[in-house]
């Protein structure tokens, strides 16, 4: 026998189910009055620094249908490349930019959309700069554990070419699944759960 | 976003997630997962600052009734129908340390097993005084509590006769975006837990048992509400050995 390490096990994930919008965006799904507004509904105000951008997209299943009951959250650095988080030790992020947003996919066409700012570059663990990116987290009925992925920008070809995460993708054509379509300030980022165009999801 | 900046932040990368402990993506017994499960290998990568950091929420954002589902949607002087319960516990990380300022959001069916949702077709009645969602933030010891009614079981279209055991959905933010978690809490003694295809997506019985809240008789409030205790464990952080970071280890 040896000493016990004594670590606990992470609580197992379970699907967010069909009614995740009740819990996380009650105003959106017609339950007003509990919260003043849905958390994460707005990311920018008049004083937020940086270039305003719009990101919209869909989460598409293996039959090509957009999910209408999904919830998407994003997390990103501010325009100066700092995260609004206690774990950010490099400086203080823009106080007018939370860096986090939440959007349900719509019941009509399954589209999510965010009004945000173009993130600055942040360093990889070895100090090299990563290309500007937005972290995505997707949950829905039928998804047993939340899916992590990233969106990169189509107009950042040279930064993308030296990005350490994109470089880790063995099948080069799959790296394109992480690059949005469109041009500044409006980007489209469709997430494919399965099939030819399956998005690269991260175990991170 | 936080109004509690008096604690030293942790900056280590998170322990690798044990993917054998969690449900796999493709679980055909839960039919909706068939077309919604990624089929290619996930890209594994050590955490970067984009995953180590995450939003932290301040207690100031909470409304007075946010953690009281019996009253937060009820008309003045009225309350939701059902068995009154307190759900309480701690949010810890895998190292057993409390996670302070963790945001917990929860949602559930009413006492009859009916959700307040356009797409919900179950014939059980809507409770006019029950909205079905709430939220709270853990204190410095990682402790949280809320008041609600015990949700009812409900049928759902999967197999011909599949029912969900009584459950409360939980969404949890720790301090890093890699800790982001959604799960469900079940109730001690419910035989339906072991018949549920969604519960059965989890391969390890011990991981399922970790989702079952015991009746906490000691904390039951006489003549008012029974208590259930539900502790939640988020991913732990590696120590930042030998790194010249201000918080040390
Ligand atoms: Fe449910």
Å between B22 CA and nearest CA of chain A: 5
CA atoms in the 13 A half-sphere facing the CB of B64:
1
Chain B, 212 to 231: residues with Cβ < 8 Å from chain A are none
Q: Could you give the CA distance from residue B22 to residue B27 in angstroms, rounded to a whole number?
A: 12
What pLDDT sits at residue A49? 98
Triad B178, B180, B181: Cα angle to 5°: 135
Q: Which residue in the set B93, B171, B210 is minimally distant from A12, CB to CB?
A: B210
Nearest to A106 by CA among A200, A188, A28: A28
Q: Inform me whether the pLDDT recorded for B39 exceeds 50.
A: yes
* Chain A residues closer than 8 Å to B27 by CB: 144
Q: For residue B104, name the pLDDT band (cuts at 50, 70, 90).
A: very high
Q: For residue A121, name the pLDDT band (cuts at 50, 70, 90).
A: very high
* Chain B residues closer than 8 Å to A200 by CB: 40, 43
Per-residue pLDDT tens over the stretch B114-172: 999 988 889 999 999 999 999 999 999 999 999 999 999 999 999 999 999 999 999 99
User: Are the C-beta atoms of B207 and B82 separated by less than 8 Å?
Assistant: no
Per-residue pLDDT tens over the stretch A126-150: 999 999 999 999 999 999 999 999 9
Å between A46 CA and nearest CA of chain B: 17
Say whether A142 and B36 touch across the interface (CB within 8 A). Answer: yes
What percentage of chain A exceeds 90 in pLDDT?
100
Tokens at residue A76, please? 């990103």
Q: Inform me whether the pLDDT recorded for B110 exceeds 50.
A: yes
What pLDDT sits at residue A87? 94
Over residues A180-189, mean pLDDT:
98
Å between A6 CA and nearest CA of chain B: 8
Q: For residue B109, name the pLDDT band (cuts at 50, 70, 90).
A: very high
Chain A, 81 to 100: residues with Cβ < 8 Å from chain B are 83-89, 98-100
Chain B, 24 to 53: residues with Cβ < 8 Å from chain A are 24-25, 27, 30, 32-40, 42-53
What pLDDT sits at residue B243? 62
Q: Inform me whether the pLDDT recorded for B245 exceeds 70.
A: no
**Residue indicated by tokens 């990169």:** A152
Instruction: Flag whether residue A26 sits within 8 Å of chain B, measured between CB atoms.
Output: yes
Strands (E), chain B: 43-44, 84-93, 103-107, 133-137, 143-149, 154-156, 162-164, 167-173, 181-187, 212-213, 226-229, 232-234
What pLDDT sits at residue B8? 74
What pLDDT sits at residue B6? 55
Over residues B175-183, mean pLDDT:
98
Per-residue pLDDT tens over the stretch A77-98: 999 999 999 999 999 999 999 9
What percentage of chain B exceeds 90 in pLDDT?
90
Over residues B22-26, mean pLDDT:
98
Q: How many residues does chain A have?
A: 204
Q: Could you give the CA distance from residue B72 to residue A28 in angstroms, rounded to a whole number?
A: 17
Q: Inform me whether the pLDDT recorded for B241 exceeds 80.
A: no
Instruction: Flag whether residue A7 sits within 8 Å of chain B, measured between CB atoms.
Output: yes
Does this complex have an ipTM over 0.90?
yes
Cis peptide preceding B57, ω within 30 of 0 = no
Nearest to A177 by CA among A51, A60, A53, A54: A60
SS3 A20: helix
Q: Could you give the CA distance from residue B88 to residue B129 in angstroms, rounded to a whole number?
A: 23
Tokens at residue B29, please? 């017994």
What pLDDT sits at residue B246? 47
Please give the DSSP secondary-structure letter assigned to residue A43.
-
Q: Inform me whether the pLDDT recorded for A176 exceeds 50.
A: yes
């Amino acid at each position: 026998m040896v000493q016990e390490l004594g670590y606990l096990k992470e609580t197992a994930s379970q699907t967010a189910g069909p009614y995740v919008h009740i819990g996380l965006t009650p105003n959106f799904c017609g339950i007003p009055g509990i919260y003043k507004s849905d958390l994460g509904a707005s990311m920018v105000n008049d004083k937020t620094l940086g270039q305003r951008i719009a990101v919209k997209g869909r989460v598409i299943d293996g039959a090509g249908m957009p999910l209408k009951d999904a919830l998407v959250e994003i997390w990103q650095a501010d325009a100066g490349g700092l995260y609004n988080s206690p774990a950010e030790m490099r400086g203080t992020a823009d106080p007018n930019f939370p860096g986090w947003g939440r959007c349900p996919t719509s019941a009509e066409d399954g589209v999510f959309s965010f009004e945000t700012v173009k993130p600055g570059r942040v360093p990889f663990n070895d100090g090299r700069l990563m290309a500007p990116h937005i972290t995505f987290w997707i949950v829905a009925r039928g998804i047993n554990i939340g899916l992590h992925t990233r969106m990169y920008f189509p107009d950042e070809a040279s930064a993308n070419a030296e990005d350490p995460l994109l470089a880790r993708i063995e099948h080069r054509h799959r790296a394109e699944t992480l690059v949005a379509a469109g041009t500044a300030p409006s980007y489209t980022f469709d997430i494919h759960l399965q099939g030819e165009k399956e998005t690269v999801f991260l175990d991170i | 976003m936080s109004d509690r900046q008096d604690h030293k932040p942790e900056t280590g990368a998170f322990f690798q997630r044990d993917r054998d402990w969690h449900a796999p993506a493709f679980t055909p017994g839960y039919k909706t997962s068939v077309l919604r499960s990624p089929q290619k290998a996930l890209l594994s990568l050590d955490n970067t600052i984009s995953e180590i950091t995450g939003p932290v929420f301040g207690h100031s954002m909470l409304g007075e009734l946010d953690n009281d589902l019996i009253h937060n949607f009820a008309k003045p002087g009225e309350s939701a129908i059902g068995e009154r319960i307190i759900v309480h516990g701690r949010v810890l990380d895998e190292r057993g340390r409390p996670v302070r300022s963790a945001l917990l959001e929860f949602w559930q069916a009413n006492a009859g097993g009916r959700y307040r949702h356009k797409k919900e077709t179950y014939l059980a009645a809507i409770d006019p005084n029950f909205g079905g969602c709430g939220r709270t933030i853990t204190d410095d010891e990682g402790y949280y509590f809320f008041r609600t009614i015990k949700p009812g079981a409900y049928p759902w279209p999967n197999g011909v006769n599949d029912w969900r055991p009584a459950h409360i959905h939980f969404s949890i933010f720790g301090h890093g975006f890699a800790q982001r978690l959604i799960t469900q809490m079940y109730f001690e003694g419910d035989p339906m837990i072991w018949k549920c295809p969604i519960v059965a997506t989890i391969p390890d019985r011990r991981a399922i048992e970790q989702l079952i809240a015991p009746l906490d008789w000691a904390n039951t409030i006489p003549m008012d509400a029974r208590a259930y205790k539900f502790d939640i464990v988020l991913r732990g952080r590696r120590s930042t050995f030998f790194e010249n970071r201000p918080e040390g280890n």
